[in-house]
Amino acid sequence: MFLKEKKISALKVYRFDFKGRNFLIEEELEDLSWKLTNETKRIDQYTCQKAILSNSDKKVEAWYTKDIKVTHGPKGYYGLPGLILELKEDKKIVRFHKIQLFSEERFELKPPTEGEKITRQELEDLPAKLFNQY
């Protein structure tokens, strides 16, 4: 079981907002229900295990390694007991070919703090709102 966390993301919007404003979205992480399998394969020098996402309208298959102790992956997928090195989403595949790890001491990650706080729904409604302003 994984702890529920809050995720803060920052976006600078240029596509439909010509002001290039920064937005902050703070939201609870959704529970992703992974079914872990015993199937394994090698990606680069890592032994990976297969997991299938069961609470999605898409067919999602992930290959993760427990050798890298982070619970993240591409395209916003997370929650497995290791780093996702390959992700199949329907017919699309994201695969890491070269993995290079850096010391934690080299990076200082801080949640973003600058920007207008809005909800994800407000961000999705923003193009229509801006269109009606002009």
CA distance 44 to 3: 29
What pLDDT is recorded for position 15? 52
Q: Which two tokens stand for residue 103?
A: 């010391």
What pLDDT is recorded for position 3? 43
Task: List per-residue pLDDT tens for the chain, 134 residues long.
Answer: 344 455 555 555 545 556 777 778 777 777 889 999 999 999 989 999 999 999 888 899 999 999 998 888 898 899 999 999 999 999 999 998 777 777 767 767 677 777 788 888 887 887 777 666 65
What is the DSSP annotation of 50-116?
EEEESS-SS-EEEEEETTS---B-GGG-B-SSSEEEEEEETTEEEE-S------GGG--------SE
Distances (CA, A) of 97 to 34, 71, 74: 24, 19, 13
What pLDDT is recorded for position 5? 54
- Residue 85 in contact with residue 78, Cβ under 8 Å? no
CA distance 113 to 10: 8
